[in-house]
Structure 1
Amino acid sequence: MQMGYIRVSSKDQNEERQVRKMLDLGIEERMIFIDKQSSKDFDRPSYQTMKRFIREGDLIYIDALDRLGRDYDGIIREWKEITRELNADIIVLENRALFDSRKFKSMGDMGKLMEDQFLSLLSFVAEQERKKIRQRQAEGKAVAKANGKRLGRPQLNLNTISEQQKKVLQDNYKRWKTQEITGVQFMKLLNLKKNTFYKILKEFENTQSTTVEAS
């Protein structure tokens, strides 16, 4: 049986490019396993589910070695478990000329030695890249903090919501106050989450009070 394993680093990243590759290889959609999380370890739900499905003779496709992981020891351990204990095979599409475990198996003990050497080299490269990414992120945060920039997503408030949202707020505020619409309905109209919704409403009410006092 053919399987495909896909990993992207976060929910914001798109896995469609990898999915299309797997489908083009003739892999059934139900046998494509997707994780949306970092490569810090192998405790990923879809990856662990895939491993429970693997049987002797199965073929697992991965787009690139760093999609499997970036941990040097972990990559080697997982690769050997799948190819030598579960007796399945792995093909890394990005380097399939080198990383097709079927080729190494056909070469006997010499193939195992060559496979170990190639795997160690590329696993090391993958781990070093992960360390570089973490270092760049840390340096970027340090620079931003030194420059007084706020990290994370910008906080929404009455001044930063869109003009369309401000219009919806003005047009429907009285409807909400008179219970013509519920808070949940008002939130949906504004496309805001609960905490942000009530924060902005409070700001809006304060501006209204200020306007009345000024008049």
Structure 2
Amino acid sequence: MAEYAYIRVSSKDQNIARQVEAMLSIGITKKQMYIDKQSGKDFNRKNYKKLVRKLKEGDELYIKSIDRLGRNYDEILDEWRNLTRNKNVDIIVLDFPLLDTRNRVNGVTGKFIADLVLQILSYVAQIERENTKQRQAEGIKIAMKNGVSFGRPQKEKPNNFDEVYILWKEEKISLREASRRTGVSHHTFSKWINETRNIE
């Protein structure tokens, strides 16, 4: 049986010292640590892949916190099952004692408990994502109702717009020429035409 640690930070300028210190304190040497300095959006990480190739049945993998493994709970759950079931490796998350597949509580294996906890976390994360989207949609709806506009700020009409608009309205110039004189696209000038007609 061998012990390994996986350490990850999201970018090269972030500090790994806290995670390294936690691993050293439980007797894992730097030689046994696999470190990635990149996003946790997926598992396509150089040193993580090296670690997985190295892991053998009965080995123990230590992680400081579950978000060091990844950000997406559904993907974490799949990867967790791959390691604990297919490779038969034990995983220990230092900051979350329930996520320790070595433990056995009243005859229930740690693998089962950890799997269950991860499923609950995955479900909670999904619900939170949905709630966040709903809150955002409700917030946008209320803001729009109160006159807040989203997207790019509206282009200001140039000083010569009224004069050019009258020329266009009297068919003395084309839409193309009107757009050229006001320095905007056909689309923008057409929008201004509609707005002006609404208040005429």
In which range does the TM-score fall when normalised by the shorter chain?
0.5 to 0.7
Partner of 1:79: 80
- More moved, 36-45 vs 123-132: 123-132
Distance 2:128 2:43 in 1: 17
Residue of structure 1 in register with 2:141 after alignment: none
Distance change (3 Å), C-alpha of 1:130 and 1:13: farther
Cα distance change of structure 1 residues 111 and 8 upon mapping to structure 2, 3 Å threshold: closer
Structure 1 counterpart of 2:16, one-letter code: E
Deviation at 1:115, TM superposition (A): 3.1
TM-align CA RMSD = 3.2
Paired residues, number:
137
Distance of 1:126 and 1:28 partners within structure 2: 33
Q: TM-score, normalised by structure 1?
A: 0.55
Distance in 2 (CA, whole Å) between partners of 1:87 and 1:48 is 17
Alignment partners' CA distance in 2, 1:62 and 1:38: 16
Determine the structure 2 residue equivalent to 1:102: 102
Task: State TM-score, norm by structure 2.
Answer: 0.58
Q: Which has the higher helix share?
A: 1
Q: Deviations for 1:32-73, whole angstroms, at most 9, x for unmatched residues?
A: 011111111000011111001101111110011111111122
Q: Which structure 2 residue ranges, 5 or more long, are not aligned?
A: 137-149, 154-200
**Alpha-carbon shift at residue 87 of structure 1 (Å):** 1.0
Q: Quote the residue 2:116 is aligned against.
A: 117
Which one has the largest radius of gyration?
A: 2
CA shift for structure 1 position 123: 3.5
1:81 & 1:105 partners in 2: Cα distance? Answer: 23
2:34 is aligned with 1:59: no
Residues 11 and 106 (structure 1), Cα distance of their counterparts in 2 relative to 1, 3 Å cut: farther
Query: In 2, are the aligned partners of 1:70 and 1:130 still within 8 Å (CA)?
Result: no
CA contact (8 A) 2:100 2:111 kept: no
- Find the aligned partners of 1:62 and 1:43 in 2 and give their Cα distance: 17
